A and B are shown apart, each in its own frame.
Chain A
Amino acid sequence: MTSAVYFCDNKGKAILSRRYKDDIPLNAIDKFQTLLSDMEDETSVIPPCIAHNGIQYLFIQHNDLYVVALASSLGVNIAEVFAFLHKVMDILAEYLKTVEEESIRDNFVIVYELLDEMMDFGIPQVTDAKMLKKYITQKSFKLERASKKKRNAARPPSELTNSVSWRAEGIKYKKNEAFLDIVESVNMLMTQKGKVLRSEILGSVKVKSRLSGMPDLKLGINDRGIFTKYLEGNNIGVNIDSSHPDLKDNQSSITSSKSKAKSSIELEDLKFHQCVRLSKFENEKIITFIPPDGDFELMNYRLNTAIKPLIWCDMKVQVHDKSRIEISCTARAQIKKKSTATNVEIIIPVPDDADTPTFKYSHGKIKWVPEQSAIIWKIHTFPGGKEYAMTAQMGLPSINNAERPKFRRPVQVKFQIPYFTTSGIQVRYLKINEPKLQYKSFPWVRYITQNGDDYTIRLS
C-alpha cells in the first residue's frame, strides 16, 4: 500500500504531499531529485520505479510534473499504484483543466481534499470524478454561494457505497438523449515499399449520457462473439492473416472486408467501464449497464488485423551532389470514394542540418519545422481514391563524404475519417429503459476513424 503521494516539479522537488502511512521518513522525498539526476547521468533508460534505502519511488510524468508514490514494502501492488496515479491525474484534470505545476500550486486546497478522499491509509477509495464532484466542490463555486451552502452542507452521496456507485439518483433532463461515439484509432507500421509490418485497430465507444433517473441501457453491436447465436456459420469477419498483404493485390481489401464485416466482426480484448455488468456479458454476451451521467468511455477493444494502409505515402528520397536532398511524396487516400479524410498531416523527417527548403505541391500547405527537423504537409480534405504529390528540395551544408544521410525516424501520418470505421463495427441498437419514468429517449451514433499514436512509415 502506498505510503505517500507527492507532486514534484520537473526537477523532482516536492511541491505538495499527502502522507497516508507513517512508515517512511519525512525527508525521503528529498532524495528523489538526486536519485533522478544521478540516474540520468548514468543511463538513458530510466524505469518508472527507483529503489533507494528500502524505499520505493514509483512515479509517472505529466506535463511538467512528477507524481511520485512512495512505498516501503516490495509487496505493494505496483499495478494498482500506477493505475491510481493515472486516475488521480484524470480527476485533477476534471477539476483544474490542465494539471501542471502552476495549477497545482494555485489549487492546493482542492488537491488536498481530493487526495484525502481518493485514498485512505494507502488504499484507493473513491475515484469516480462525477461522484467526487457531488461532495468535493470547486473552491470558486463554493465562495459564491457560501451562505447557501451552509444550510445544505456537503455530504457524501449515499450512492457512493451502493453497488451503483457511479450515478446519483434524481437526475433530470428535459430531453432525454444518449450520444454514442465510436472512435477507431489505427496503428500501423509500414516499410517504404508498402509492406505492413504491424497493424492494429484500437476502438473506443464513448457515451455522452443525458438521461433522467436510473436508466438501464442495452447495447447491441455486430460483434461476432455476441451474435454467433443468431448468425451461425458466418465466420468471416476480418481474419488475421499472417502473410503480409501486398499493396497491389489487396487494393480492395478494405471494401471487401467491410462488406463481409457487415454481418459480424470479432472484437478482441473487449474492456468495459465498471458500469457494465461483466458477469452478464460473460455468460449471455449482452452489454447492459446503468450509465454514469455525462461523458464516459463505455468500452474499448482492439483488433489485431491485417489491413491495408488507409493513407499511403509513397516516399522517395534522393541525395544529389552531396549537398542537396530531394524528397518526394505521393499520398493516396485508399478509402472508399464517398469517404473523405480530413485534417491529414504528413510529417516527414529531414536531416537536422538541412536548410533552404523549396517545395512543389498541388494541394494543402507545407511548412518546414526546424525544431522538429521535419517538414509537415497539411491537407485539409482528402477525398477517397485521390492522389496528391509533393516534392521538397533542401540544402545539406555539412555533408562531406558520399555517405547517405540516415533517416532514423519514420514518416508519421495523422488523419481523421468521419462516418467510417475500419473494423466495420456497427451499433445495432441502443435500448434505453427507465422503469419508473418511462420516457421517450433518443440515441445518436457517430463513427470516426483516425490515426493512432503510431501510424508510421519507415524510411530505410
Chain B
Amino acid sequence: MRDATLANGMRIIVWPVHDIPNVALYNWVRAGSRNEAPGATGLAHFFEHMMFNGTSHHPPGHFDRLMEAEGGANNAFTTDDVTVYQDWFPASGLELVLDLESDRVARLAFTPEVIESERGVVASERRLRVEDNSHGLLAEQVQASAFVAHPYRFPTIGWPADIESWRLEDLQAFYRTYYAPNNLTLTLAGDVDPERAIASVRRFFESIPAQAPPPPVRAVEPEQVCERRVSIRRKAQTPLLQCAYKAPRAADPRAPAVSLLLSALVEGDASRLHRALVEDRQLAIEVSGHWQEGFDPGLLWLSLTLPEGADPEEARRALDAELAAVAADGVTEAELERARNLATVGLWKKLATIDGKAQMLGEYEVFHGHWSRLFDAPARIAEVSTEELRAVAEEILDPRRRTVGVLVPSSPPSASTAS
C-alpha cells in the first residue's frame, strides 16, 4: 500500500489488489449538509448531481458517456459530512477516469438549463425518499428537531423551497470553497501498480491550485436537557417509532464501544431488542439502528416498525425498559463476544471486495485521521470490555438527550380500504 500528499494538499491512498482486472476509486470531498446555511440547504447534494453535468472541456453528458464506453460505471452519495464520488472500471481505464475526475474538479461549468433540469431530478428524488416514504418523512422531522444550533439539523436532500431557489452564485461559491484539491482525498483499490497510479494522479491533479481552507463549522450543539417529541399523522397502514440519541463523533476514542453497543442491541435475530420486542413481546415487526458517525457529535438511531393498530406508547415503554436495563447492567460477556464476532466478519466482508477496500480506506483517512487506523480496528474491537460498553450505554441511552418521533396512520385501515 502507498499514500502520498500532492503539493496542493490533495491526499491519495492506493491498495493494489489483483483478484479481478478492475479498480474502485473513491473521491472524498469534505463537504456535506453540515457545511450549509438556512435558505440553501441541500446544496452539497445538488452539487453531487451537478458534478456530472459538464465542464468547460466536456459538454453535459460526456462524463458518463465516455466513462461507460471505456467500461466504467460511477455513482456518488452525499451525507451530513461528506460528498463521495465513486468509479468502478477496468484497469485499462485508469487514465481516462483520472482525466475526467480532475477535469470536473478543475473546470466545472454551470449551464442554466442544466441546473433547471437537475432541480427536477432532485425534487423527484426527494419525493421518492421523503414525501412518499414514511421512514424518510419521520426521520427528517426527528433530525430537524434533534439539533437546535448545529447544521446537522438540515436534511441532506434539502428543504423543498431551497431546492427551488438555489442561484448560480451559490453553486459557484460552494464549488470554489469545497472542491479544492486540499479538501479532497482519493482512495484507489484494485489492479494497479501503486507508484504508477500515484504518478498518474499527480499528472492530472497536481496543477489544480489549492484554495484557502473551507471555513470551519463553528456551531456546537448545546447539551440537550430534555426529551423532544415529534408526531406525524399520515396515510399509512403501520405506525413507526424512531428514537434518536445524541452520540459521539466518529473519531471519539469510545467509537468501538458505541459500534458494539449498537450491534448488541439490534444486529441479527439474537440481538437484545429484536428478541425482546419482535420475538418475545411481538410489539414490533422490525427493529433497526444506525449511528451517524460524523465529524461532530451526531445521533444514534433506533427505529421500530410497528404492526397495524399498535400503540406506539406501549412500544416506547417496552423499548425504554430494555434500554434502561442495558444502561444499568450492560450486556453479558456472550452478547459482547457475539457483537465482536459479527464486527470481525463484517470487516472481512468489506475487505473481500475492491469497492469495500476503497471505501474503508477513505472512511478511516477522512473520519479517523489516517487510513492505517483501519488495521487497528480488529484490536480495538477485541479490547472493548463489558464495563466500557455499559458506560457508553449509560451515557448515550439517556432519555433526556433524545428525540422521539412517532408516525401514526391518519385513518383507520377499514376506511382507507373503502376509499
The answer to whether A and B come from one shared complex is no
